[in-house]
Structure 1
């Protein structure tokens, strides 16, 4: 019996020791804090709760267990809630429970169910006490799965860092423990837990990696989780270095009315993209994707682009602005039936010629229209709210706002638009509409000419 008891103590201390090393290594701010422990009832979260209870007196922590019933899994979710409440009662732990209809809230907020559930959980955890530290049960195994998911989707060095051990007031004490470590700890310490039946369904991306990919990788390298841990650690070090430099450049680029686009453009592409990331995140609160960063990078010499939702980034005269206030020129409109008009942005004229007299190379000219497709009276004007157009050769109709963003066109209220009774025929910088393009049956062609903008 003494030998068995010593072995029990040694195995328990191995787990506790690994967690204490992680707390120290990642500077987790737990000492003297009220800690909201996310407890789902699964093996990972129950192990986390028991480990933190072991360390409670040493670190002078107040432990509050927090459980969220997401209203998704019906009776199974109710079972998990009951289990957590009863387990905490036996352990003498204060427990808080939130019942939420996550699917309904997700529809209301126009969010994905997973993202909505995450927001609800963290809002709840933060509400249980002032200055609370949130402890979640993410493990090294979770970290490896997230790493593979990020790689499969295409990621940067930032994505190779996977799940951070610490983010703000959120800590993950089990981040260096594998799922095998957790299962052994629960077995040796007779810790009961519930099992989410969906963990064994490979219809979810993470489950596919857990059930199918990880076992194959372990067949190649039984220590693959330790190898991934080294990769993540190396990526974190490089990411911290790049982040520190990019933050310095971001601060140097700050101007009274925007950011110094020329300074940003001078940087190495890796730093340039990171600075753009920092600026977008700082100004909007959104985490930009690669497509958004590349879009902004493409206009650093000048232009405008729409990135996330209605967020607009404009670079003008070397200054980058987020959601700049546009100077309104007011609406203007002129009759163009005589094929001549003086507008605020220049003098426009047009002439009709026979198709046979047009050189073949000009068939695709963006100022050439099928005259027979023009219906009723012609006007030349600037844009109006809701203006839409299907560009010649395009497969879909888009708003002018979106088209202007895609083409990085500036001074949008001054761009001339030719319209008939059916809608837009031609837009300067975009060309003619699909309805008015030159067709095989076209006989007469309208050619638009313009003088320089009036002074």
Structure 2
């Protein structure tokens, strides 16, 4: 196996040969063998061990074992202790997910602080098969069936072409000691159920299961490349505007393809959406309809779909007040300045000049609400703010980010758009007041 590992690394992962590397070592056979093989290849490694404090003295014994292993290999070792149960409870997640998050967050931090180039983990071919089956049983798309990537950012998994049996055989042949994790025999977790109950039956049916699975993964990844190419072509035609606040997609491009649902799934799957029939329904929905996930919102606006972050759709912001002595006020849409002036100035979208004697302080700054009415400057009569924004053809995001200034329940300015006619400067005005949005 040492020869096979050396050849694989030099052929496919040659960048490791001149890199500083963290090897994640739990104490189990897989990671211990990985540490030995890397050491024999003369890679520049240090070991990193996480003590999750989930198995009492057994966890502490694992830590001691890894420290001894580092001493045996004459390499540096880093150890971090975690209160995994407390983290899981605080973040309302499973113990397994908590351990994963804690582990990788620490690895990334360690690599960044100490200038390590890569993090090596000992995931192998059996782990890959189990991950595939987990995703398959829970429901997934093509991405979830592609398997664990060999290289993902600065995380490298050089064992994915090796089986658990071959790793254990190498350890026994070379009298390498390791630690057995008692939780691995438990049927409590889905992965262990698959490992102990399902995979053995599949291997009995097909003794060459891992080899066949590897061929399947290669085929799926080839197909994924084709899908990615087609998806990029549609995205290039569909995206008409993109910035830090939102992405706008042309609906007609999704209607042109043979399977709109498939393209919508691939385009928006990373934004937390789950109700895909509702997402498809947006293509023919009326303006203003939307579908939400925990992190994002997808809104139908005329002939477009607009993707925004969920936090950008939250208008439950506290009211802001402005006293007569205030000169500036910071708001979510910009900084407002307030200034007494000597003569009238022309109004613009960002500046209004009004009769101060018609104001009652404090002024209130707030998001517009349903039912708001104002008298648009230069127009006859009153108008609902909602109707005004619709007539101005604002996108849903622009509407959600529209604020007003009011005095005694009267709107003075739809900020950045139109002042109210009731507060305009007339021939009898003598107290001029300027409000500007920066």
TM-score range, shorter chain: 0.5 to 0.7
Aligned counterpart in structure 2 of residue 250 of structure 1, from 235, 247, 269: 235
Partner of 2:30: 44
The answer for unaligned runs of 5 or more in structure 1 is 1-14, 334-342, 347-410, 413-455
What are the residue-to-residue correspondences of 1:5-44 with 2, within 5 Å? 15-23=1-9, 27=13, 29-44=15-30
Partner of 1:330: 369
Say if 1:264 and 1:36 are closer, same or farther in 2 by CA, change over 3 A.
farther
| Contact 1:67-1:81 at 8 Å conserved across structures | yes
> Per the alignment, in what secondary structure is the counterpart of residue 37 of structure 1?
strand
Say if 1:139 and 1:28 are closer, same or farther in 2 by CA, change over 3 A.
farther
> Per the alignment, in what secondary structure is the counterpart of residue 98 of structure 1?
strand
Aligned counterpart in structure 2 of residue 222 of structure 1, from 196, 200, 207: 207
Using the alignment, how far apart are the partners of 1:234 and 1:45 within structure 2?
Answer: 29
Asked if 1:109 is matched to 2:91, the reply is yes
What are the residue-to-residue correspondences of 1:107-146 with 2, within 5 Å? 107-128=89-110, 129-130=114-115, 132-146=117-131
How many residue pairs get aligned? The number is: 318
TM-score (norm 2): 0.65
Using the alignment, how far apart are the partners of 2:305 and 2:210 within structure 1?
Answer: 43
> Per the alignment, in what secondary structure is the counterpart of residue 41 of structure 2?
helix
1:233-284 CA-partner distances (Å, limit 9, x unpaired): 11111112212332343244322252223223323427x6356544563xxx
Partner of 1:260: 250
Say if 1:17 and 1:239 are closer, same or farther in 2 by CA, change over 3 A.
farther
Deviation for aligned residue 1:110 = 3.3
| Contact 2:368-2:385 at 8 Å conserved across structures | no
| Contact 1:18-1:177 at 8 Å conserved across structures | no
What are the residue-to-residue correspondences of 1:396-407 with 2, within 5 Å? none
Partner of 2:322: none
Aligned counterpart in structure 1 of residue 259 of structure 2, from 256, 269, 275: 269
Partner of 1:398: none
Using the alignment, how far apart are the partners of 1:22 and 1:265 within structure 2?
Answer: 46
Deviation for aligned residue 1:82 = 0.7
Asked if 1:160 is matched to 2:150, the reply is no
> Per the alignment, in what secondary structure is the counterpart of residue 256 of structure 1?
strand
Partner of 1:92: 74
| Contact 1:135-1:171 at 8 Å conserved across structures | yes
RCO greater where, 1 or 2, for CA within 8 Å and sep 6 or more? 1
1:265-318 CA-partner distances (Å, limit 9, x unpaired): 323427x6356544563xxxx5x46x2555423313346444431521112122
| Contact 2:45-2:75 at 8 Å conserved across structures | yes
Say if 1:229 and 1:305 are closer, same or farther in 2 by CA, change over 3 A.
same
TM-score (norm 1): 0.63
Deviation for aligned residue 1:185 = 0.6
Asked if 1:298 is matched to 2:287, the reply is no
The answer for unaligned runs of 5 or more in structure 2 is 243-247, 316-366, 373-382, 387-398, 401-438
Q: State the Cα RMSD in Å.
A: 3.1
What are the residue-to-residue correspondences of 1:171-210 with 2, within 5 Å? 171-210=156-195
Greater mean alpha carbon deviation, residues 203-212 or residues 259-268: 259-268
Greater mean alpha carbon deviation, residues 103-112 or residues 135-144: 103-112
